[in-house]
Amino acid sequence: MRQFLKFTFASFLGCIICSVTIALLAFATIACIIATSGDDTVVLNDKSVLTVNLSGTITEHTTENPFNDVMGYGAGQQGLDDIVGAIDKASDAKEISAIYVEAGLVSADYASLQEIRQALQRAKAKKKLIISYAKEYTQGAYYVCSVADKVWINPEGMLDLHGLSAQPMFLKDLMAKFGIKMKVVKVGKFKSATEQYTEERMSDENRLQVSRYINGIWDTVTGEISAARGIGKAELNRCADEMAALMPTSYLLKHKLVDKTLYAEDVKTELKKLLNIDGDKEIEQVSCSTINRNYPDGRKSDKKIAVYYCEGSIVRAPEAAAVTGDAGITSPKMVKDLEDLAKDDDVKAVVIRINSGGGDAFASEEIWHAVKTLAGRKPVVVSMGGMAASGAYYLSCAATHIMAQPTTLTGSIGIFGAFPDMSGLITQKLGVRFDNVKTNAHSDFNMMQTARPFNAEEEEMLQQYVNRGYELFCKRVADGRKMPADSVKNIAEGRVWLGTDAVKIGLVDGLGGTKEAIAKAAQLAKTKDYETVTYPASPSWLEQLTETVGGNGNNLDEQLRATLGTLYEPFVMIRSMERQSPIQARCQIILGTGRQ
């Protein structure tokens, strides 16, 4: 027996030593790869070209994680700030003569695409040659590339121009198959996020607001393409109606949508001609990541303008963000970060860059308080991305100044509670029975309604609770925007507004992107000598390794999204039902933001 225990222990110890050794070797290998791949210092010569890869998923901001790069996670994902920053740096670099945009399948909202387009316009104004090429232009990619001096396409390529549509998904019948009903209490006739649970079609109010914002975005898109390409808006709409995507490239040339057809191997030859580069010389190309590393902003100052990036659902805990499939804005972390920025005397102003449809109402209130406190000590400028609605507008309204893009979706001042009634599933489908002994009238009250539905008295109490939340939301907006409460309620009711409309009704102060928001923050801080710093701070290498090995919450969701397609959203809704706060300041935007 002693010999058996000795050999068993020796084998166990050997396994542990072997596992640790393998882990250390793997870590060392990864570290070596990272160390050798991080050095891409370049010295640019005249007539260099910045190459912008306009494809994949574009998020507001990406934190470099070399472990993710080695493991292949997050492939095809780019930060909007990296793309715009690289274009602006190329605009100022005398060695760079042209910007070449290679377009592909891009996933981004129109406000993000508009910001990239505006950066290209700034480069064009500084006499940089802008060239674009694609085998296939998606509608959003073409919107960006239409600003180019030359728009080229493969002779057998495709250019998609079809307009915008909204196709909301209704889950009432799906949930009924599982014996689940949703009890909804809300304030705001335009607050449409709950319609997916309770209706079979759009309400008249929702149809009105959706029609307004998709037509407004499309009017902006066609107007800017028209101005750049010299094509009338009426003709662009005819091309969309005629399904330009299914037409031969001769059709695209005839309607001036593109300038030339050529194969990919001929692009460099044509580009050399435009730049007067000898045929036997190679074009010096530089990527966005390389120019960002080699051409820092250049400003070094004790005075800082902090740019704080936040994107995704607003939640109280990271776990709630994980189940919704996005990175999430976690209130405890953001509150702590804003408190630190308030105490940092070197930070003279803060830009909060936000792209969110809202989320947990209480978490939004917590962040609102932190923003208000911060704005009491230094200027706070909110820069809205594709969306800053409902809870995201809640936290924004305490800022000193608010800026949005014309195509930003904002407002949605409203609140709702969505409570899943699981009693049909538990008692009827599964056959579980409950008995009850209680001390008070509502001792057996349960937000998930597993044993019984709410009674009439409980429903009334829930409605009053939501009503108080709505009144508070309106008060926060009225105080922050210095508007009468009645004026706020006239534009509230959960209605979604375009950025252009939001300026007119006082919800937003001006139009522009992050660059303009930073300039405004510096103006409010009364400083011309400043350095921009990005927040939240990048995680340590150990945190990055742990995140990569443990899973960052997005990799599985990327695979599920690709696998499930249109079924992904109802799957996530059912998956997250138990872990989300039932009281939400959330906006459901049903304009597809997939492959634009």
Percent of residues, the chain, with pLDDT higher than 90? 67
Task: Select the more confidently predicted residue: 326 or 279.
Answer: 279
Does 384 have pLDDT greater than 50? Answer: yes
Residue type for 296, please?
P
Please tell me the distance from the alpha carbon of residue 474 to that of residue 495, in angstroms, as a whole number.
13
Residue in 505, 554, 569, 581 with CA at minimum distance from that of residue 197: 569
Residue in 391, 407, 380 with CA at minimum distance from that of residue 477: 391
Please tell me the distance from the alpha carbon of residue 517 to that of residue 399, in angstroms, as a whole number.
12
Does 544 have pLDDT greater than 70? Answer: no
Please tell me the distance from the alpha carbon of residue 135 to that of residue 414, in angstroms, as a whole number.
44
Residues 6+ apart with CB under 8 A from 563: none
For the segment 297-336, what is each residue's pLDDT rounded down to a tens digit?
656 788 999 999 999 999 988 765 554 445 589 999 999 9
Task: Select the more confidently predicted residue: 574 or 372.
Answer: 372
Contact 98/78 with Cβ under 8 angstroms? no
Does 594 have pLDDT greater than 70? Answer: no
Task: Select the more confidently predicted residue: 174 or 232.
Answer: 232
Does 475 have pLDDT greater than 60? Answer: yes
What is the mean pLDDT of the segment spanning 227-244? 97
The per-residue pLDDT of the chain, averaged, comes to 86
> For the ranges 211-220, 294-303, 367-376, which has the lowest average pLDDT?
294-303
Confidence of residue 579 (pLDDT cuts 50, 70, 90): low
For the segment 38-81, what is each residue's pLDDT rounded down to a tens digit?
445 667 788 999 999 999 999 999 866 544 444 444 457 899 99
For the segment 482-528, what is each residue's pLDDT rounded down to a tens digit?
999 999 999 999 999 999 999 999 999 999 999 999 999 999 999 99
Please tell me the distance from the alpha carbon of residue 422 to that of residue 424, in angstroms, as a whole number.
6
What is the mean pLDDT of the segment spanning 580-589? 69
What is the mean pLDDT of the segment spanning 239-258? 97
Please tell me the distance from the alpha carbon of residue 382 to that of residue 234, in angstroms, as a whole number.
36
3-class DSSP state of 322: helix
pLDDT recorded at residue 36: 47
Question: What is the SS3 assignment for 332-396?
Answer: HHHHHHHHHHHHCCCEEEEEEEEEECEEEHHHHHHHHHHHHHHHCCCCEEEEEEEEEECHHHHHH
pLDDT recorded at residue 543: 47
Residue type for 288, please?
C
End-to-end CA distance of the chain: 70
For the segment 111-160, what is each residue's pLDDT rounded down to a tens digit?
999 999 999 999 999 999 999 999 999 999 999 999 999 999 999 999 99
